[in-house]
Amino acid sequence: MNFWKTFLAAFLAFVVFSFVSFFLMFTIIGALSAEETVTVSKNSVLHLKLDAEFTEQQVDNPFEGLPIPGADVQTVGLLKLKESLTHAKTDPSIEGIYLNISMPLAGFAVLEEVRNSLIDFRAEGKWIVAYADVMSEQAYYVASAADKVYLNPEGEVELNGLNVEITFFKRLFDKLEIKPEIFRVGDYKSAVEPFLLDKMSAENRTQLTELINSIYDYVLQGIGESRNLEKARLREISDKMLVKNAGDAVEYGLVDSLLYYDGVLSELRNRLGLGETEKINFIRLNRYSKSMKPRKYSKNEIAVIVAEGTILPGTGTEGVVGGDAFAEEIRKARLSNKVKAIVIRINSPGGAFQASDAMWREVTLAAKEKPVIASMSGVAASGGYYLAMACDTIVAQPHTITGSIGVFTTLFDASAFLGNKLGITFDEVRTGEYGSMLGFTRPLSDAERRVWQRRTEDIYETFTSKAAAGRDMPVEDLKKVASGRVWSGIQAKERGLVDILGGYNDAIRIAADAAVLEDYSVKLYPRRKPFIEQLLGQLSENARVSTLKKELGADYVLYQQWQQVRQMNGIQARMPFELMIR
C-alpha cells in the first residue's frame, strides 16, 4: 500500500511539474515572439558576427542570449542579411560596420553575396572595420572588402589555397558485404566513383583541380582589387604559404595592423568622435533587422521561391526540398494575379529525378505566363540545374558549383550482409522473368540489369534534351558539357549553361525589368518553420540518435554512413559526392 501511495504521489508531482514547465515555456516563447519595436540610436555601429551557419532564409532564435538550452543555436539568413545591409547603407543612424568573421560555415558563392553587399555599403561613403583573432580563407575573403582589416597580434590569416575533399564508400561496402549495382550514361566516370573506388580517378582529379582553380582565381582577383595587390603576387603568397603568422600578414599587405580588442575599440571611437571612455552604440544584426519598417504595400509582387537542400519527393523538411510542396509553390505563384514575376533561388546538389522533373514542369508552365528567373546560390547542380534550365534567364555567382547534367542509378545488393552478418536469408517466387526491381535481398539478374540500364539511358536523354531546349542549343552541343561534369559559375557561363554572372539582387532586377515593374514588393516562399518547431524537432531527433548510439555502439558510424548512401537508392539527378571546398 505504501508503495502505491509513493508511486501515485511521485506520478502526480511529475504531471504537475510537466504542466508547469510547458506553461512557462510557451509563456516565454509567446513573450519573446511578440513583435518588438527596436529603435536605432544615432551614431550607431552595426555589429556583424558571421561565424555561423548560413541559410538562405532567416529563422530568428527567440532564446538567443538566455541561459537555457538552444540559446546558442545561431544561423545567418543570407537574404535577410542582404536586405539589412541595403537598408543600413542609407540609414542615417548607422555610421559604419564592425565586422567579426573567423570561420563562417558557408561556401564562396554565398560569401560573395555578403561581400558584394559590404562593398555596396561602402559605396555610400560609410566605413567597415574588420577584426578577428583568426581568419580562414573564406573569412578573409569577406573581410578584405573592409576599409581596414585588423588582426590580433597573436592571430593568423589563412591564405594557402583551396582543397576539395570527397567521401568514398567502397571500403564501407566491403566491410558490410554490400554490393552496389550501378547504372550510368556517358563517358565521365566520376559520377559513381564514391561507390566503386577509395580515391579519385585521374579524370576526376583533373576536373576538380580545374574547378577549384577557377574559383580561387576569382577569389584572388577580388582580394587583389580590395587590398591593392597584384593577383600574381597573391598567388605566390598563397602557393608558397608565405604568411605563417600575424607579422607576415602585415608585411605582405593582407591586414593593416595588429591590434588587441581594446585597440580596435579605440579605433572605432575615433571614427565616431567619442571620448576614450564613452560607450559605443553597437547593434546586432538580428535586432537591427527588427528596426526596419515593412516595405510599403504594392499590388505587384516578385515571388522568390527558395529551393535549399537535397531534392526528394513529398513535402520536404529543413534541408530537404520536397518536390510536391515546391511544385505547389510555383503553381500558386503562376496562378496568382498579384505575382508578376518569379525568381527561383537555388542552393541544391539535386536529388530524386522524378521530383526534379515535376518541379521543372511547373517552372515550364510558369515561364509561359510570366518572367521566371533562376538565381543560383552556392550549389545548383544536377537536379538543382534541372530546376533552373527552364527559366528565362539563369544568374549564377562566379563561385557557384553547377552543371552536373546527368543521371545515375544505384541499387544495393545486401544479401551477403544480411546472410553473413545477421543470419537472415530470403527466397521468392514470381510470376515472370522479373522480380522486385528495387529489392536489396538478392543480386539483380542480367535481364533486370538491362532494364535498369535502359531506364537510366532514357532518363539521361530526357534530361539532356530538356536542358538543350531550355538553353536553346543543339542536344549534341549540350551533351559535350554534360555527362555529369561539374562546373564553376564562370566555366558554366563560358559553355552556355549560365546567362549572367551575378547575385540575388541582379536576379531581382532582371525579373523586375522583364515584368516592366517600377513599384513592387519581394516576398519569400515557402514559409520556414519557426525556430521553436525546429528546436523541438531537433530534440526529438537527438533522443532517437542517442538511443541508436547506445544500441549500435561503435557500429553507429557505419549506420550513419549507410543512411547517407541509402538516400541515393534508385534513379538520381544529383551530385553523388559532396564537395567540401576549404
Q: Residue 361, class by beta-carbon neighbours within 10 Å (0-12 exposed, 13-18 middle, 19+ buried)? A: middle
- Could you please report the per-residue DSSP string of 515-542? TT-SS-EEEEESPPPPHHHHHHHHHHHH
Answer left, alpha or beta for residue 567, where phi above 0 means left and psi between -120 and 50 means alpha: alpha
Please name every residue paired with 98 in a beta bridge, in sequence order, or none if there are none.
Answer: 47, 129
Q: How many CA atoms lie within 13 A of 241 on its CB side?
A: 8
Q: What's the CA gap between 226 and 496, in Å, rounded?
A: 30
Please name every residue paired with 308 in a beta bridge, in sequence order, or none if there are none.
Answer: 347
Q: What's the CA gap between 120 and 172, in Å, rounded?
A: 48
Retrieve residue 468's grid coordinates: 538543350
Of the candidates 395, 329, 320, 401, which has an alpha carbon nearest to the alpha carbon of residue 358?
A: 329
Report the 10 Å Cβ neighbour count for 96.
20
Question: For cell 573581410, what's the residue?
Answer: 143
Whether 189 is catalytic is yes
Q: What's the CA gap between 576 and 409, in Å, rounded?
A: 10
Q: What's the CA gap between 349 and 354, in Å, rounded?
A: 15
Parallel/antiparallel/unpaired status of strands 372-381 and 393-396: parallel
Give the three-class secondary structure for 21.
helix
Q: What's the CA gap between 107 and 579, in Å, rounded?
A: 10
Q: What's the CA gap between 120 and 138, in Å, rounded?
A: 19
Instruction: Enumerate residues 6+ apart whose C-beta is below 8 A from 53.
Output: 74, 75, 76, 105, 106
Retrieve residue 141's grid coordinates: 575573403
Choose the catalytic residue: 44, 238, 291, 382. 382
Retrieve residue 475's grid coordinates: 542536344
Q: What's the CA gap between 367 and 474, in Å, rounded?
A: 21
Of the candidates 284, 255, 280, which has an alpha carbon nearest to the alpha carbon of residue 133?
A: 255
Q: What's the CA gap between 357 and 182, in Å, rounded?
A: 21
Q: What's the CA gap between 507 and 515, in Å, rounded?
A: 12
Choose the catalytic residue: 189, 231, 529, 549. 189
Single-letter code of the amino acid located at 125: G
Inter-residue contact 207 to 577 (CB < 8 Å):
no
Using alpha carbons, list the distances in angstroms from residue 253 to 158, 318, 477.
13, 42, 45
The residues annotated with a catalytic role in the active site are: 189, 382
